[in-house]
C-alpha cells in the first residue's frame, strides 16, 4: 500500500476548479446508467480517487469498493481492478473544489484515514451528492452521509490533537528521538506538519506499531518509512542497549518533577481521565511505575520553627 503525507501532489498553479470553490457545479454530472460494479484498488487515497474517476468514466455505480487483499467477490461477478494514476487522482482531487470548499474536501481525506469498513462507499456517496446537488452540502445534516463524515472528522481531530499532546520521545545513542504510538486512526499524515515544525532542530522517528509504518525527519524533510517483517512483533519498544545512557535519568527527573508539582488535595481522577483518557497513559513517562519511591522535598520548616530575624 502506498502512503503519502498529502492526498495528492499539489499543482503549482491554481486551476479553474479551485477558483469556483464553494460555488455551483459548472457541468452536468454523468448519469450512472450501466449495471453496478465491484471495484478494487491498491488501498491508497490516490487509488481511491482513481476509482472515483473510473466510476463516472464507466457510468457504473459501485456495489463495493475494496482494497486489494480484502476482496470478497460474488459468485457470478468478478471485481474490476483500477490502477492508480496520480495525474487522474490530482484531477479528481482538484475537481472536487467545483462542488465543495477546501474544508469539506479535507473531511473526505480524514474519512479515508479513519479506516472505517465502508469508508470508500461513504466518500463516493458524499462526493456524488455534492456534485449532483450543485451547492455546498457540508451543513446538510439531514443526510446520513454528511452526518457521518462530519462525525468522523471530529473524531480524527480529537485523535490528532491528543497524539500531538501525548507523544513522548526517547533519545537513542545516535541522537535520534524515537516514539512508538498506537492510535485508533491513521493520524500520522495529520500530525506530520506539527512535529516537523515543532522539532525542526533534531532527528526524530514516530512509529505506528499497528500499521507498521512511521514518519522520519532528517533535519531537512519528513518522509514516510515502512517496516516489513515476516513475523508480527508483540513488543515494539526500543531496546535499552540503543538508548542514550542519560535517558533513564531524564525519565526519572520528569517523574520527580511531576510528583512534586502534584497537589494530592486536589486529586480528581474522573476529571483527569476525561482530559487524559486512560489509553494514552502508555505514552507518558509520568504514568509509568516508579523506580524510586517518591518523597516530598524537605526544604520547609514546620510552623513556629522558623528562626527569628537577625539570628
**124-139: pLDDT as tens digits:** 999 999 999 978 899 9
Q: Decide: 115 and 185 in contact? Cβ < 8 Å.
A: yes
263 and 152, same structural domain? no
Domain contains 135: yes
pLDDT of residue 136: 84
Greater pLDDT, 305 or 194? 194
Domain contains 126: yes
107 and 50, same structural domain? yes
Q: Using alpha carbons, list the distances in angstroms from residue 293 to 36, 37, 252, 287, 290.
A: 66, 64, 11, 14, 7
Pairing verdict, β 176-181 and 170-171: antiparallel
pLDDT of residue 304: 60
Domain contains 90: yes
Burial class of residue 99 in the structure, from the number of CB atoms within 10 Å of its CB (0-12 exposed, 13-18 middle, 19+ buried): buried
Q: Quick one: which of 114, 207, 127, 206 has its CA closest to 159?
A: 114
Over 60: is that where the pLDDT of 26 sits?
Answer: no
Over 50: is that where the pLDDT of 21 sits?
Answer: no
237 and 129, same structural domain? no
Over 80: is that where the pLDDT of 22 sits?
Answer: no
180 and 51, same structural domain? no
Q: Using alpha carbons, list the distances in angstroms from residue 170 to 87, 97, 176, 226.
A: 40, 42, 8, 20
What residues contact 205, with CB distance under 8 A and at least 6 apart? 176, 177, 178, 179, 214, 215, 216, 217, 225
Last residue of a domain, one of 137, 158, 179: 158
Helix 188-198 / helix 144-166 crossing angle, nearest 10 deg = 40
| H or E element, residue 270 | helix 269-275
189 and 252, same structural domain? no
Last residue of a domain, one of 158, 178, 212: 158
Domain contains 103: yes
198 and 150, same structural domain? no
67 and 137, same structural domain? yes
pLDDT of residue 17: 42
* Residue position matching grid coordinates 525527519: 217
Q: How confident is the model at residue 305 (pLDDT cuts 50, 70, 90)?
A: low
pLDDT tens-digit readout, 78-97: 889 999 999 999 999 999 99
258 and 226, same structural domain? no
Greater pLDDT, 301 or 112? 112
pLDDT tens-digit readout, 141-158: 999 999 999 999 999 999
Range of the domain at 70: 16-158
20 and 127, same structural domain? yes
Last residue of a domain, one of 158, 187, 206: 158
Over 70: is that where the pLDDT of 293 sits?
Answer: no
Q: Is 261 helix (H, G, I), strand (E, B) or coil?
A: helix
What pTM was computed for the model? 0.78
Q: Tell me the mean pLDDT in the region 231-238.
A: 52
* Residue position matching grid coordinates 516537523: 196
Domain contains 123: yes
Question: Where does 96-208 have alpha helices with state H?
Answer: 102-113, 119-133, 144-166, 188-198
Q: Is 92 helix (H, G, I), strand (E, B) or coil?
A: helix
Greater pLDDT, 13 or 199? 199
Domain contains 2: no
181 and 288, same structural domain? no
pLDDT tens-digit readout, 64-79: 999 988 776 655 668 8
Pairing verdict, β 203-208 and 213-217: antiparallel
252 and 237, same structural domain? no
Q: How many domains does the chain have?
A: 3
Over 60: is that where the pLDDT of 308 sits?
Answer: no
pLDDT tens-digit readout, 96-106: 999 999 999 99
126 and 57, same structural domain? yes
Domain contains 291: yes
Domain contains 10: no
Q: What percent of the chain has pLDDT over 90?
A: 54
Over 60: is that where the pLDDT of 182 sits?
Answer: yes
Q: How confident is the model at residue 20 (pLDDT cuts 50, 70, 90)?
A: very low
Q: Decide: 184 and 173 in contact? Cβ < 8 Å.
A: no
- Residue 179 has phi, psi (to 5 degrees) of -140, 140
Over 80: is that where the pLDDT of 248 sits?
Answer: no
pLDDT of residue 75: 57
Amino acid at each position: 500500500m502506498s502512503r503519502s503525507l498529502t492526498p495528492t501532489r499539489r499543482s503549482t498553479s491554481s486551476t479553474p476548479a479551485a477558483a469556483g470553490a464553494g460555488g455551483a457545479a459548472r457541468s452536468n454530472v454523468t448519469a450512472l446508467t450501466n449495471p453496478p460494479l465491484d471495484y478494487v484498488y491498491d488501498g491508497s487515497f490516490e487509488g481511491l480517487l482513481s476509482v472515483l474517476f473510473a466510476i463516472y468514466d464507466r457510468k457504473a455505480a459501485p456495489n463495493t469498493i475494496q482494497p486489494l487483499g480484502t476482496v470478497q467477490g460474488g459468485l457470478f461477478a468478478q471485481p474490476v481492478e483500477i490502477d492508480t494514476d496520480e495525474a487522474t487522482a490530482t484531477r479528481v482531487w482538484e475537481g472536487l473544489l467545483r462542488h465543495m470548499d477546501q474544508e469539506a474536501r479535507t473531511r473526505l481525506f480524514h474519512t479515508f484515514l479513519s479506516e472505517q469498513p465502508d469508508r470508500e462507499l461513504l466518500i463516493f456517496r458524499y462526493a456524488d451528492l455534492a456534485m449532483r446537488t450543485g451547492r455546498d452540502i457540508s451543513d446538510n445534516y439531514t443526510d446520513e452521509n454528511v452526518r457521518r463524515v462530519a462525525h468522523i472528522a471530529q473524531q480524527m481531530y480529537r485523535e490528532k490533537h491528543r497524539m500531538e499532546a501525548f507523544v513522548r520521545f526517547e533519545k537513542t545513542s545516535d541522537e535520534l528521538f524515537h516514539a512508538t504510538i498506537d492510535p485508533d486512526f491513521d493520524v500520522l499524515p495529520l500530525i506530520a506538519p506539527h512535529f516537523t515544525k515543532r522539532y525542526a532542530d533534531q532527528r526524530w522517528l514516530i512509529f505506528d506499531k499497528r500499521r507498521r509504518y512511521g514518519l522520519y525527519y532528517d533535519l531537512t524533510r519528513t518522509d514516510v518509512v515502512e517496516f516489513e517483517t515476516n513475523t508480527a512483533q508483540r513488543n515494539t519498544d526500543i531496546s535499552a542497549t540503543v538508548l542514550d545512557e542519560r535517558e533513564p535519568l531524564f525519565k526519572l527527573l520528569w517523574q520527580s518533577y511531576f510528583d512534586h508539582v502534584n497537589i494530592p488535595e486536589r486529586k480528581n481522577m474522573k476529571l483527569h481521565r476525561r482530559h487524559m483518557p486512560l489509553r494514552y497513559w502508555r505514552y507518558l513517562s509520568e504514568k509509568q511505575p516508579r523506580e524510586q519511591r517518591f518523597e516530598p522535598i524537605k526544604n520547609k520548616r514546620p510552623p513556629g520553627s522558623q528562626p527569628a530575624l537577625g539570628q
